Amino acid sequence: MKLILAVALAIGCGMPLGAQQPRMDKETQAKIDDTIAAYAAAWGEPDVAKRRELLEKAWATDGVYIDPTAHVEGREALVQHISGFLKSLPGHRIEATSRTDVHHNQLRFSWRLLKPDGSVLTEGMDFGALDSAGRLTRIVGFFGPFPALAR
């Protein structure tokens, strides 16, 4: 019934359906923004102790990280995985390029990977899930835009 209402509103307003979703309250949005900011900062933090502290805030103990090149289980394994990432790409950092959208503890945001000079190395998108404490239990990353349809 909620979908019917959302669609009716969307038709009525001539707006994309997404614009008609109930907005999160400010406190919830702020908490999620903080979590994603800490998570993204962890990817650019060369100090292992500081990185662990960021992930203790943002990442569940048994959270799973998956991207096209990696499958990493657990917070401490992610702390170490990022060490390898930063060894290969020193001074690089991840920056969100969208706000984080959440429903049913499921989330999405887009990002870009910046070189030390601030230019963009690549872009991508992350989809994830949160536990009841608001920590990430899963991130699945994809690189680049959605692949074009085969015609």
Q: Which residues bind its own copies (CB under 8 A)?
A: 2-4, 6-7, 10-11, 16-21, 66-71, 84-85, 88-89, 96-101, 103-104, 106, 108-110, 113, 121-125, 127, 140, 142-150
Q: Minimum CB separation from its own copies for residue 55, in Å?
A: 18
**Which residues, at least 6 apart from 29, have a Cβ–Cβ distance to it below 8 Å?**
23, 99
CB of 115 to its own copies, least distance (A): 9
- Residue closer to its own copies by CB (options 27, 49) is 27
Closest CB to its own copies among residues 53, 124? 124
Of 23 and 49, nearer to its own copies (C-beta) is 23
Beta bridge partners of 72: 65
When the beta carbons of 46 and 145 are compared against its own copies, the nearer one is 145
Tell the smallest beta-carbon distance from residue 39 to its own copies (Å). Answer: 16
CA dihedral 121, 124, 42, 39 (to 10 degrees): 160
Residues 6 or more apart whose CB falls under 8 angstroms from that of 127 comprise: 106, 107, 108, 139, 140, 141, 142
To the nearest whole angstrom, how small is the minimum distance from the Cβ of residue 31 to its own copies? 14
Phi, psi of 104 (to 5 degrees): 50, 35
CB-nearer residue toward its own copies: 56 or 112: 112
Find the shortest distance in angstroms from Cβ 119 to its own copies.
Answer: 11
Give the Cβ contact number of residue 21 at 10 Å. Answer: 12
Phi/psi at 40 (5° precision): -65, -40
